[in-house]
Amino acid sequence: MKKTLICTVCPVGCSIEAEVSEKEVLSVSGNTCPRGEKYARDECIAPKRMVTSTVRCSNGVLLSVKTKNAIPKEKIAECMKIINNTVVDLPISVSDVIIKDVFGTCIVATKNIRA
């Protein structure tokens, strides 16, 4: 079976064709870099996404956060619930771990907030 994908790895957005059987990806074409091939293989078998959002700090301001690595696409809604149930204390620096062990990765801060 042929699957047509738009690569989301970078802003070029290559149109990629993947030949897939029931269990595996047989061939990938149309990508212009190796990252595109990896994306297509992951996307056909186990699609993953980065999640970005905000977490409330104890003083009321918002801290922007992201998943350190991409998580399974079907876990996005659950991931958002975990993020929205979290309150963090200050100060926070960029890359600080805000929530540990979230679908194989963690939630990290993407900005600095002084107390």
Residues that bind other proteins in the complex, under the rule CB under 8 A = 5-11, 13, 15, 49-54, 56, 60-62, 64-66, 73, 76, 80, 84, 94, 110-112
Please answer whether residues 40 and 18 qualify as being in contact, where contact means their C-beta atoms are separated by less than 8 angstroms. yes
Q: Give the SS3 label for residue 113.
A: strand
CB nearer to other proteins: give 22 or 34: 34
CB nearer to other proteins: give 20 or 49: 49
Q: Write the DSSP string, 14-42.
A: -EEEEEE-SSSEEEEES-SSHHHHHHHHH
CB nearer to other proteins: give 13 or 104: 13
Please state the closest distance from residue 108 (CB atom) to other proteins, in A: 10
CB nearer to other proteins: give 23 or 109: 109
> Closest Cα partner for 92 from 66, 67, 63, 60?
63
Please state the closest distance from residue 110 (CB atom) to other proteins, in A: 4
Please answer whether residues 28 and 18 qualify as being in contact, where contact means their C-beta atoms are separated by less than 8 angstroms. yes
